[in-house]
Amino acid sequence: MALIELSHVTMRFGGLVAVNDLNLALDAGQLYGLIGPNGAGKTTVFNVVTGVYTPTSGSIRFDGEEIAGERSGRITRRGIARTFQNIRLFGTMTVLENVKVAFHCRQAAGVGAAVLRTATHTAEEARIDRESRELLKIFRLDGLADEKARNLPYGSQRRLEIARAMATAPRLLLLDEPAAGMNLQEAQQLMDLIRWVRDHFGMAVLLVEHNMKVVMGICETVHVLDYGSTIAMGKPAEIQSNPKVIEAYLGGA
Amino acid sequence: MKGLAVAILVVAVLFVLNGLFVGSLVPGVSISPYILQVICLAGINIILAVSLNLINGFTGQFSIGHAGFMAIGAYASAFLTVTYGERIRAGLGFLPPFARDGALLLAGLAVGGLLAAIAGFFVGVPSLRLRGDYLAIVTLGFGEIIRVWILNIDAVGGARGFSGIPKLANFFWIYLFAATSIVIVSRTVRSSFGRTLIAIREDEIAAEAMGVDTTRSKVISFVLSSAMAGVGGGLFGHYLMYVHTNSFTFIKSIEIIIMIVIGGLGSITGSVVGAVLYIGLTEGLREFAQYRMVLFSLLLIVIMIVRPGGLLGQREIASLLRRSRRMDAPTHPVIRA
């Protein structure tokens, strides 16, 4: 059974059909690319999956359970985490704190324990601190742990967003243009990182990206959207030679 | 254990100071009743400012009805001590008189705080489910509704005000609760739960996407803040021995907001500084008679121009003492009303 399965998902905003009858399935551990020209509906797919929008029709099943229309916090706790196209870090918090916030959804100690500084609270804080620092090390951010997130260079902010999403212990990671604004070398490092994270943690990755080198380089399956509809799906090599895809990107004769 | 030792020390210091101030410890040593009253009201302001900062400064949800919760606490606790005070005292006959007074005050504050918390829950749940300015609008209305409602309850004096409240609160109790509220808020914001509050202030959509139940976090923060305002109100009534709904108008809510804004939204130290500064300025400018509020407004404007993020920004006294090696640019938190 697929980890996540979207069937006949349609998202309408008034008269505009942003996503039209989308069918998509990801297995655990799969690297899946979602591409398409600007305005094709890629980010809307993310917003529908993460509960920002409730789809107009269709079903989204995660791990066999229907999740369409649930609040995004609940969906994250089920095991779907995301990054944002326009970076949304907690600006005045430090890099370390940004990651710690994401650990909150997997821990138990409440306000009472925090005020009384109980043993459970102290132990949990120590564990969160340790695991957050480990994550930062993986994403090469450990040297910046006490820096305010908004003072980070762009590439590091992108990596921090992924690290923060990883802290929620997802089984499906949605990356919205992780390589945007990165130079060639940074994009290359990012590809290695995404692949490594996938292999190491074994989760599925759904990737929206405009940098074709990245998409074609790491995705096993590529799914092309145009005006909300699927125009092609298959292995990277097949997609690159697909006349419909070329037409959508370069315009018809 | 270290915490317990500090707590005992604080209680002892407050007890000695209280004795010195009222002249019961060393004969002939005391401070003027006027100064003592200003100090005590400053303590109550600290409780109100620190608690409001939890929701306005740390959680980034703008409440402008703090006086309403204060009124609930003041009237509810006074009603308890006035109506049932003698019976409770009689029931506690085995305790020495000062302990009886203390127990009665604590009972009153517990009731006041609890009722304010319940009110906070019912105000918070519908308005905090939404993202945006709804809390400001709802709390504004709530504060006025509470005030007018109390004004029409004859059992608590109605428009005459509620008099005959026993003087149970003093310097000791007020500052004990001020210290407690500082500890509660600072421990809350430096916990995993507290980080979710700050995350909500920074970016609510991202916080929700990171698995934070934003409604739950916001409601808990608001209820906690309301409860502390209720306790502050209870102390206010039992210190002045008289409460009137005129003390809990919209203006009072704005005063508390001014305290936390001049001190720095998101800084507990700032709230304490703001609360003390506010009462210090309003009292200190008394000699200028009719120009008092003009001067006061000018001072506030100057502070906001010179330090738009408040006197302390988001910094705390602890970090200032450590003299952070890096030179941080002054933080100017965005007020998302």
Mind listing the pLDDT tens digit for each residue in B182-210?
999 999 999 999 999 999 999 999 999 99
Q: Torsion over CA of B73, B75, B79 and B82, rounded to 10 degrees? A: 100
| HSE of B77, CA atoms in CB hemisphere, 13 A | 38
Model confidence over B26-62: pLDDT tens digits? 887 788 889 999 999 999 999 999 999 999 999 999 9
pLDDT category, B1, cuts 50, 70, 90?
Answer: low
Which has the closest alpha carbon to A229: A69, A80, A34? A34
pLDDT at A253: 54
Please compute the mean of the pLDDT values over residues A27-36 and round it to a whole number.
91
pLDDT category, B325, cuts 50, 70, 90?
Answer: very low
pLDDT at B335: 45
Model confidence over A74-105: pLDDT tens digits? 999 999 999 998 899 999 999 999 999 999 88
Find all residues with CB under 8 Å of B314, minimum gap 6, and list them.
A92, B264, B265, B266, B267, B331, B333
Tell me what percent of the residues of chain B surpass a pLDDT of 70: 95
The pTM of the full predicted model, rounded to 2 decimals, is: 0.90
Which residues from A are below 8 Å from B55, CB to CB?
Answer: none
Expressed as residue numbers, the domain containing B104 is 32-249
Which residues from A are below 8 Å from B199, CB to CB?
Answer: 90, 93, 101
CA B324 from chain centre, in angstroms, equals: 29
The token pair at A29 is: 């551990």
pLDDT at B336: 42
pLDDT category, B332, cuts 50, 70, 90?
Answer: very low
Look up residue B163 and give its amino acid: S
Q: Is the pLDDT of residue A127 over 70?
A: yes
Whether residue B135 lies within 8 A of chain A, CB to CB, comes out as no
- Distance of alpha carbon A45 from alpha carbon A36, whole angstroms: 12
Q: Is the pLDDT of residue B240 over 60?
A: yes
pLDDT at A182: 83
Please compute the mean of the pLDDT values over residues A48-68 and round it to a whole number.
92
Q: Is the pLDDT of residue B327 over 50?
A: no
CB distance B263 to B311 below 8 Å: yes
Whether residue A89 lies within 8 A of chain B, CB to CB, comes out as yes
Please indicate, yes or no, if residue B112 is contained in any of the structural domains: yes
Residue B130 distance to chain A (closest CA, Å): 12
Residue B335 distance to chain A (closest CA, Å): 13
Whether residue B212 lies within 8 A of chain A, CB to CB, comes out as yes
Model confidence over A147-193: pLDDT tens digits? 999 999 888 899 999 999 999 999 999 999 988 888 888 888 888 98
Find all residues with CB under 8 Å of A133, minimum gap 6, and list them.
A96, A142, A145
Tell me what percent of the residues of chain A surpass a pLDDT of 70: 98
**Partners of residue A81 on adjacent β-strands:** A173
Residue contact A105–B212, C-beta within 8 A: yes
Chain B segment 166-185 residues within 8 A of A by beta carbon are 183-184
Residue A145 distance to chain B (closest CA, Å): 14
Q: Is the pLDDT of residue B334 over 60?
A: no
Q: Torsion over CA of B215, B219, B222 and B223, rounded to 10 degrees? A: 180
Please indicate, yes or no, if residue B7 is contained in any of the structural domains: no
Strand ranges, E, within B219-312: 242-243
Of B183, B188, B210, the CB nearest to A101: B210
Q: Is the pLDDT of residue B143 over 60?
A: yes
The chain-wide mean pLDDT, for chain A, equals 89
Whether residue B283 lies within 8 A of chain A, CB to CB, comes out as no
Which residues from B are below 8 Å from A52, CB to CB?
Answer: 205, 209
Residue contact A105–B314, C-beta within 8 A: no
Model confidence over A34-44: pLDDT tens digits? 998 888 889 99
Token pair 């993986």 is found at: A138
**Partners of residue A94 on adjacent β-strands:** A148
CB distance A87 to A157 below 8 Å: yes
Residue A83 distance to chain B (closest CA, Å): 9
CB distance B103 to B87 below 8 Å: no
Q: Write phi, then psi, for B157 (nearest 5 degrees).
A: 95, -15
Whether residue B56 lies within 8 A of chain A, CB to CB, comes out as no
- Distance of alpha carbon B91 from alpha carbon B84, whole angstroms: 11
Of B190, B191, B202, the CB nearest to A90: B202
Of A101, A113, A168, the CB nearest to B199: A101
CB distance A35 to A208 below 8 Å: yes
Q: Torsion over CA of B130, B132, B133 and B137, rounded to 10 degrees? A: -10
Q: Is the pLDDT of residue B328 over 80?
A: no
Whether residue B313 lies within 8 A of chain A, CB to CB, comes out as no
- Distance of alpha carbon B308 from alpha carbon B306, whole angstroms: 6
Residue B242 distance to chain A (closest CA, Å): 33
pLDDT at B337: 38
Sign, CA torsion B41/B71/B312/B278: negative
Residue contact B331–A50, C-beta within 8 A: no
Model confidence over A186-233: pLDDT tens digits? 888 888 989 998 998 889 999 998 888 888 889 999 999 998 899 988
Which residues from A are below 8 Å from B187, CB to CB?
Answer: 114-115, 117
Please indicate, yes or no, if residue B308 is contained in any of the structural domains: no
Residue contact B195–A97, C-beta within 8 A: yes
Residue contact B196–A101, C-beta within 8 A: yes
Which has the closest alpha carbon to A177: A206, A153, A201? A206
Residue contact A71–B198, C-beta within 8 A: no
Residue A12 distance to chain B (closest CA, Å): 21
Q: Write phi, then psi, for B209 (nearest 5 degrees).
A: -65, -20
Q: Which one of A107-116, B109-118, B187-196 scores highest in mean pLDDT?
A: B109-118
Which has the closest alpha carbon to A39: A23, A19, A53, A57? A19
CB distance B74 to B111 below 8 Å: no
Among A107-111, B238-242, B329-333, whose mean pLDDT is lowest? B329-333
Model confidence over B222-231: pLDDT tens digits? 999 999 999 9
Tell me what percent of the residues of chain B surpass a pLDDT of 90: 65
Whether residue B214 lies within 8 A of chain A, CB to CB, comes out as yes
The token pair at A93 is: 């918090």
Please compute the mean of the pLDDT values over residues B84-104 and round it to a whole number.
87
Of A77, A102, A114, the CB nearest to B191: A114
CB distance B62 to B137 below 8 Å: no
**Cα three-residue angle A141-A146-A148, rounded to 5 degrees:** 90
Which residues from B are below 8 Å from A128, CB to CB?
Answer: 192
pLDDT category, B323, cuts 50, 70, 90?
Answer: low
- Distance of alpha carbon A177 from alpha carbon A43, whole angstroms: 9
Tell me: ipTM over 0.85. Answer: yes
Which has the closest alpha carbon to A22: A216, A206, A205? A206
Whether residue B187 lies within 8 A of chain A, CB to CB, comes out as yes
Give the A:B interface size as CB pairs under 8 Å.
Answer: 108
| Residue range(s) of every CATH 3.40.50.300 domain in chain A | 1-79+170-253
pLDDT at B333: 46
Q: How far apart are the first and last CA of chain B?
A: 41
Burial of A162 (0-12, 13-18, 19+ CB in 10 A): buried
Determine the length of chain A: 253
Whether residue B3 lies within 8 A of chain A, CB to CB, comes out as yes
Model confidence over B243-301: pLDDT tens digits? 999 999 999 999 999 999 999 999 999 999 999 999 998 898 888 878 888 888 888 88
Please count the structural domains in chain B. 1
Which residues from A are below 8 Å from B314, CB to CB?
Answer: 92
Of B3, B211, B333, the CB nearest to A77: B211
**Partners of residue A61 on adjacent β-strands:** A5, A66
Which residues from B are below 8 Å from A175, CB to CB?
Answer: none
The chain-wide mean pLDDT, for chain B, equals 89
CB distance B302 to B287 below 8 Å: no
Domain A1-79+170-253 has CATH 3.40.50.20: no
Task: Using DSSP bridges, classify how beta strands A31-35 and A221-226 pair: parallel, antiparallel or unpaired.
Answer: parallel
